[in-house]
Structure 1
């Protein structure tokens, strides 16, 4: 099991999807484009948890400068930029010890992904050799509220094996990639073979995924939006009676995928469209669907922390028995965390 050195963990940026490695954890023909909102992180486990609070020093290092500050050994400046609560959990000496323990051989930190939603700013960087990643979170005043160093593992064989068929995006409008990519920094699914190339996708307007009461599903822009067949196929599984989680944040680990539609596209490729709204499925087992046909509505059922669409292609109609396959998207798309897909 991968060991991670955790300096501080902020849970606010986490969107939970179908889960991890077991049952208890879990397109239209018009042009689609992807636009990046930004491009911008290890070993005995040590945890120090805290909440965001007032910082204790002048903010000098900008988010995009953290990697270079680490390379330049500006540990004092980094420490002074930690939030007050973070500083309560770790001394400057401890911070230096942690960084130096993982920093040997690191000559550069390359921008990897950036997630900016609901007032949380998460950035990830990868060392020049691809062996170590750092994830850090900063508040709106650029105080550092979280940092993790993670040893990275890659799976080049499956990374380079795309689906035989090409797929359109299973929605219309603008959708934001919360989790998606070929590393565990930008896509927490990547660690688990059965979900390695899955996507968790939300809708964002003016930097937020919701408006109004955050505890209500109806406040979320994604909730109730049409979910479409990404290409033609035959419906082989439908779950339609799982209640949407109320209030938002409560999750159902007993039914990780929640309401789900599974489409057999042939060639051993199956689309999973998960966490659909209760009672919204518009198809039944045995139905034939064409690309762009509505199959249900985006919901918040199953092991889901807020309304979103979990989408992946697998080599088996059983999510937990199959392997995730990297999607060959139409229009040359290769969406990653922090990008907006416009269709």
Structure 2
């Protein structure tokens, strides 16, 4: 979700940005931050060159994992050669090289932040050794680079150390995929916005896809119509359930960005916000007392949403856009990030 004067949430199924250009070219929810945890993997790199000379030509295509090393070795032409035709229309080779040199000149290595495979695309993210630059690549099964992004990161070091006082259960059951989540702008676009900094966007995924059948129909998406549950005891303070679900899928409703939602007040001044619910599915009303695990309604595709998914966050107030998000302390002790699958019972 994204707050602005027009209260707009970013569309969320595809993701790909040009180095330095930051132009979205395929779908996704997004975020800005820096991971506070130690990265799991270090990508071998060398100090980037200041020239555009290329090594001996190779017929082998770069994999997603090869991209950081190739960039830091100055293999810009080789990387650009794998850009998809659509991506090349958005940025010239000359502009790409110039932007890459400027963005990466002080980076010595990249540490892996997250990776995910969704709808035939492989999305990988890394954070620089200094922690102030993120790198993201989206590549298809044929090795074409659909998008590439270098993004300045500004960690919220104070709030990153704070978690909710209450513990929360996941508001769903079964297997759910983290599309946006974590303390990094590349893996959680919400992070740039204080009101949504620690929000999550969850989808369901089977065999690498979030849907089966006609991608323009809500019913094709595995998440659509799945039950949602109260993540903790509390009192329902806000319910909206009359907003139509967006169809064809991809058409969004920025006038009511959260779509159908339920807001629950918990102990210690904390509030759960559950958004994008299915029209007419809310099973609770304002004033109802709920217990952890009580069903609230169904997942939908209402509001400024590009695909059926659940937006969930905990805030310090009932008004989503006038409050501040709080990092969630999950009951199971986990710290989910983009690309991970959660199994909730």
TM-score for both structures, normalised by structure 1: 0.84
Corresponding position: 1:13 with 2:27:
yes
Q: What does residue 63 of structure 1 align with?
A: 64
RMSD: 2.3
Q: What does residue 253 of structure 1 align with?
A: 254
- Does the aligned pair in 2 maintain the 1:231–1:291 contact within 8 Å? yes
- Does the aligned pair in 2 maintain the 1:113–1:186 contact within 8 Å? yes
Q: What does residue 112 of structure 2 align with?
A: 111
Give a deviation string over 1:54-103, Cα, whole Å, max 9, x none: xxx94421111111112222223222322344445545443322211111
Q: What does residue 271 of structure 2 align with?
A: 270
- Does the aligned pair in 1 maintain the 2:29–2:179 contact within 8 Å? yes
Q: What does residue 182 of structure 1 align with?
A: 183
Give a deviation string over 1:302-325, Cα, whole Å, max 9, x none: 111111000000000111110000
Q: What does residue 49 of structure 1 align with?
A: none
**1:65–1:161 distance in 2 versus 1, CA, 3 Å:** same
Which structure carries more relative contact order (alpha carbon 8 Å, separation 6+)? 1
Q: What does residue 294 of structure 1 align with?
A: 295
Unaligned regions of 5+ residues in structure 2, if any? Answer: 5-17, 33-40, 44-57
**1:69–1:211 distance in 2 versus 1, CA, 3 Å:** same
CA distance in 2, matches of 1:111, 1:8: 20
Alignment of 1:6-155 (within 5 A): 6-7=20-21, 9=23, 11-15=25-29, 58-87=59-88, 89-155=90-156
**1:216–1:152 distance in 2 versus 1, CA, 3 Å:** same
CA distance in 2, matches of 1:6, 1:93: 13
CA distance in 2, matches of 1:90, 1:174: 38
**1:309–1:89 distance in 2 versus 1, CA, 3 Å:** closer
CA distance in 2, matches of 1:155, 1:88: 35
**1:90–1:317 distance in 2 versus 1, CA, 3 Å:** closer
Q: What does residue 283 of structure 2 align with?
A: 282
Q: Which runs of 4+ in 1 moved over 3 A?
A: 4-11, 84-94
Give a deviation string over 1:11-52, Cα, whole Å, max 9, x none: 333248xx99xxxxxxxxxxxxxxxxx999xxxxxxxxxxxx
SS at match of 1:101: helix
Greater shift after overlay, 200-209 or 135-144?
135-144
Corresponding position: 1:225 with 2:239:
no
Corresponding position: 1:167 with 2:181:
no
Q: CA deviation at 1:122?
A: 1.8
CA distance in 2, matches of 1:76, 1:212: 38
Corresponding position: 1:211 with 2:212:
yes
- Does the aligned pair in 1 maintain the 2:182–2:336 contact within 8 Å? yes
**1:107–1:237 distance in 2 versus 1, CA, 3 Å:** same
CA distance in 1, matches of 2:242, 2:42: 39
**1:193–1:221 distance in 2 versus 1, CA, 3 Å:** same
CA distance in 1, matches of 2:23, 2:144: 14
TM-score for both structures, normalised by structure 2: 0.83
Q: What does residue 306 of structure 1 align with?
A: 307
Q: CA deviation at 1:332?
A: 1.0
**1:91–1:337 distance in 2 versus 1, CA, 3 Å:** same
Corresponding position: 1:323 with 2:324:
yes
Give a deviation string over 1:225-245, Cα, whole Å, max 9, x none: 000000111111111111111
Q: What does residue 334 of structure 1 align with?
A: 335
- Does the aligned pair in 2 maintain the 1:13–1:122 contact within 8 Å? no
CA distance in 1, matches of 2:75, 2:188: 29
